[in-house]
Structure formats: structure tokens, C-alpha cells
Chains A and B, each alone.
Chain A
Amino acid sequence: MARSTKRDAPVTDRLALIIANRVDELAPLADRVSSFLGSKGVGTEDIYAVNLVLDEVITNIVSYGYPDDGAHEIAVAVTVDDRRITVVVRDDGRPFDPTEQAPAVDVDSDLEDRSIGGLGLFFVRQMMTSVAYRRDGTTNEVTLVRALPATVRG
């Protein structure tokens, strides 16, 4: 179950959580992220985008990151200010760079020709202003940034 790495302070600008490498962690994670971002005045479209991107990134980690199928921890941190939402996901799975895996997605295909794959990372690229990856020793670190409209206050 998602839990804070520290006690929530009253006016925290950073949400930091550790979750297990299981996709049933996604719904509780989304609840925590929605509450946090909502309390910062972030709108529903931006909240949906952040949750979707977290979902797609974490689903990939769970699906491809651990050949041993063992229990692992994934660290998620979300910060927001008046300019942007920044999401950092860290895992200790095998090297996986989501910025590199870029299968072409043809949004103009007809139904018969439309292929099933590639949508997750496509959404990540569409929804985020920037996506950066680095490998730090045994850790994958993905940093995703979504710029906010000027009217949102942090």
C-alpha cells in the first residue's frame, strides 16, 4: 500500500511515496496524487495527465523491469509550483529508458490498420512538456515535467 516516507507536514509542496511493483498500487497512488495536486489548486485535466503518465511509466516498470518477478519498491515524488508539475519515478529494475523506446504511433490509421502497441509511451510524450531519463548505478530515474497554465498558483 502507498505510504509516505515521512509524516505529512501541513503545507507540503512535495508528495513522496514508496509503492510496491504491482499494478494494484496504481489506484491508491492516483488517489494520493489527486488529493495532493487538488489541494494545490491544480485542475482536473492536469491531474488526469499526471496520473495517466505515472500509470504508464509504472506499468512499464512492473511489466519489464524485473525478470525475477520478486517484490521491489518504486519511489514516486511529485512537486508543484506555479510553473510546473514535476514527477520523479525511481526504480531498481533493469535499465529501461522510456525516452528511447519510441515505437511510432499512427493516430491517423483506420480501425483495421491501427496497431495495439505503443500507446502508453505515446501518452507520456503527449502529456508531458519534457521527459528525461538517467541511470544512476542500479537505479532508473525518470523525470517528467508538465508546464502549467499561468493562472495556476502553487
Chain B
Amino acid sequence: MVATHEDINGISVVKTGPRIDSANAGAFETVLVEVVNDATGRTVLDLSELGYISSAGLRVILLAAKTAKKAGRELVLCHMQPTIREIFDVSGFARILTIVPTRDDALAT
């Protein structure tokens, strides 16, 4: 499964599967952008299972972050594994996205 979605106390939480590449980035975009559009508050993206992401997946996350920001809402990423963090650092995405260590941090107000 590319991603699952649940609501926790009015906060939308999207949790990815282990891999996002060009084969499933379209499906990931469908899930994430719809959640961001329908959210009343922040959207949390839980990356604890994510072991691989390519530029196709990063593009979806960037699009979702821009969409959220335009609506005056937040997209918060959590539980990023070190190899994934490296990808976000190299691409410069770590600087422009909100990344926190745990889901609790992401849910805290």
C-alpha cells in the first residue's frame, strides 16, 4: 500500500508504505493531496516505514506542502529514517519542509 490515512483528534495522519517511486507516486499524490485539501487543520506525514523514495515521491510531498501552505495549513513530516533524511538534505527539501522526530511531536500543538 502506498499510503494509509487516519484522523487523530481532528488531525489528518498519512502513513506511507516502504517505497515511493515513479510506479506508485501517482497513487501517493491522489491520497496525500486529497487529505491536505480536505483537512481542517494540519496534516501529518508519517514516514516511519519509508525505506526508499525517488524524485517522483519528493515531488508529491513538495506539491502537498505548497498546497497546504497556500491554504494556510501545515504539512508536518515525522519519523524520517536516516537514509531518507540524506535525500531530503541533498535536495534542499529539509530546509523548506517541517520535519520533526516523532508522531507525538507532529501531533502536539
> Which chain A residues have a beta carbon within 8 Å of chain B's beta carbons?
23-24, 26-27, 30, 44-45, 48, 51-52, 55-56, 59, 62-63, 105-112, 114, 116, 119-120, 122-123, 126-127
Q: What are some 8 contacts across the A-B interface (CB < 8 A)?
A: A48-B52, A56-B54, A105-B92, A114-B66, A114-B92, A114-B96, A116-B62, A123-B54
Contacts of B92 in A (CB 8 A): 105-109, 114
- Flag B66-83 by CB within 8 Å of A: 1 or 0 each: 100100000000000001
Q: What residues of B have a CB within 8 angstroms of the CB of A120 in the complex?
A: 54-56
Nearest A residue to B55 by beta-carbon distance?
A119
Complex interface: chain A residues within 8 A of B59 (CB): 116, 119
Residue of B nearest to A48 (CB): B83
User: B16-24, B39-47, B99-107: which lies at the A interface?
Assistant: B16-24
Q: Is B66 a contact partner of A112 (Cβ separation < 8 A)?
A: yes
A111–B83 CB distance below 8 A: no
Partner of B54, one of A55, A109, A116: A55
Considering the chains assembled together, what is the distance between the CA atoms of A122 and B97 in angstroms?
19
Other contacts beyond A111-B97, A119-B59: 4, CB < 8 A: A27-B21, A30-B52, A55-B22, A114-B66
Q: Among B23, B62, B90, point to the contact of A123 (Cβ < 8 A).
A: B90
In the docked arrangement, what's the CA distance between A62 and B23, Å? 11
A45 & B21 in contact (Cβ 8 Å cutoff): no
User: B4 to chain A: closest CB distance in Å?
Assistant: 19
Q: Which residues of B contact A109 (CB under 8 A)?
A: 92, 96
Chain A at the B interface: SS class: helix
Min Cβ gap B24→A in Å is 9
**Chain B 48-63 against A: per-residue CB contact (8 Å), 1 yes, 0 no?**
0000101110110011
Does chain A have a CB within 8 A of B86?
Answer: yes
Distance to closest chain A CB from B97 (angstroms):
7
- Given A111-B65, A119-B59, A51 and B91 contact (CB-CB distance below 8 Å): no
Q: In the bound complex, what is the Cα–Cα distance between A63 and B56 (angstroms)? A: 12
Chain A residue nearest to B97 (CB atoms) is A111
